[in-house]
Structure 1
């Protein structure tokens, strides 16, 4: 279980620097651009929130629960990404939230838009989540300090 949750993936220094930049950039943009504004304006979002994932058992959530789950994903999962701890599960949670945003919330919207609502931003946030699920956090993360697996990796 420890290996599943905390495996950092590659320990190559150059690749790990790239993953650090990706994790920090993606996590901070999600945290400050989406999570904190939703938390600070909770009452405003709660009035107009109408998104419940159409996947059982999540479809049984109430709308306030769905909003809190979204805020939790955008705040806590992005914070975990910035720190590089539980990176793959956190990236999965954010990726799932972006799938719901792109293909349920913006289902009727065009893919690209010249300023209006579109799927584009959710898919752009989905891409780094997908990359981090595949690669892990890299050597410069808390996952790497927890997972001291010494097995040889191909470079």
Structure 2
């Protein structure tokens, strides 16, 4: 009970926390990315928001890349900081441009993802990641 209110960081606990957070947030993001991936390779026409003027297909391709491929990379802890960048961009666009007219209720989820991926950008994958394993050997 004495350690419950301590402000000192226990690095092994931080690494376990980062591992759980990294897996959790990216597994949840896969529930958004996997249906998009299926639709990307499906036969139906792609209709997707184009808030940056890149074209619907390019916007959709970027969203699929971020939400599916980058989520898998973050789950593995491979290139965690780099993989977080497209997710930060995608969630920022979703929250601050696409869902802005819809109000806070529709912005809340992308904002939560945005904050989580910003955290992973600054912290990296932690000790229980492929990044740590590969860099440890150098």
Report the TM-score, using the length of structure 1 for normalisation. 0.75
SS in 2 for 1:50: coil
Q: How do 1:1-150 residues align onto structure 2 when only pairs under 5 Å count?
A: 12-31=11-30, 33-42=31-40, 46=46, 48-53=47-52, 59=53, 61-112=54-105, 118-148=106-136
Compute the displacement of 1:12 (Å). 2.4
Measure, in 2, the Cα distance between the counterparts of 1:138 and 1:41: 33
Write 1 or 2 for the structure with the bigger share of helix: 2
Q: Matched residue pairs, number?
A: 127
In structure 2, relative to structure 1, the CA distance for the partners of 1:147 and 1:45 (3 Å cut) is farther
Report the TM-score, using the length of structure 2 for normalisation. 0.84
The answer to whether the 8 Å contact 2:74/2:84 transfers is yes
SS in 2 for 1:119: helix
In structure 2, list runs of 5 or more residues that go unmatched: 1-9
Superposed structure 1 runs of 4+ greater than 3 Å apart: 42-45
* Highest RCO, 1 vs 2 (Cα 8 Å, sep ≥ 6): 1
Deviation digits for residues 82-103 of structure 1 (CA, Å, limit 9, x no counterpart): 0001001111211110000001
In structure 2, relative to structure 1, the CA distance for the partners of 1:12 and 1:95 (3 Å cut) is same
The answer to whether the 8 Å contact 1:23/1:82 transfers is yes
